[in-house]
């Protein structure tokens, strides 16, 4: 039996769902940070060399061009996504109105 079929279990609100998701992300982030910290303490030389290598690669990469491209793609995809979201909400509203009218 799942939660939707049991009337005694209250449905989870979007705020509660978001709060629990953020809490989970925070806990996973802390755990990963501690793992990284322990790895650095175990082998500081390897970690330092890795950091220098990553810094060099980031300096050589066209980071600005990549970010500009991402912003352009996001700007191009935002209007259709908002339109689809609005259409879905309108459909949901009309469906609720239709169901309320039949009762």
The pLDDT tens digits for 50-80 are 999 999 998 898 888 999 999 999 999 999 9
Residue 52: predicted pLDDT: 96
Give helix then strand counts, H and E, for the chain: 3, 0
- Give the Å distances, CA to CA, from 88 to 56, 75, 84, 91: 46, 21, 6, 5
Quote the CA–CA distance of 15 and 65 in Å, as a whole number.
37
Q: Which of 63, 62, 64, 60 is nearest to 52 (CA)?
A: 60
Q: Residue 1 — pLDDT band, cuts 50, 70, 90?
A: very low
Please give the full DSSP string across 55-75, using - where no structure is assigned: HHHHHHS-HHHHHHHHHHHHH
Q: Mean pLDDT in the chain?
A: 88
Residue 45: predicted pLDDT: 95
């Amino acid at each position: 039996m799942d939660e939707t079929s049991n009337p005694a279990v209250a449905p989870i609100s979007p705020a509660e769902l978001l709060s629990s998701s953020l809490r989970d992300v925070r806990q996973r982030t802390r755990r990963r940070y501690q793992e990284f910290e322990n790895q650095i303490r175990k082998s500081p030389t390897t970690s330092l060399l890795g950091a220098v290598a990553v810094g060099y690669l980031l300096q050589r990469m066209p980071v600005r061009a990549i970010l500009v491209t991402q912003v352009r793609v996001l700007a191009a995809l935002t209007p259709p996504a908002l339109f689809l979201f609005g259409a879905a909400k309108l459909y949901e509203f009309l469906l609720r109105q239709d169901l309320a009218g039949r009762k």
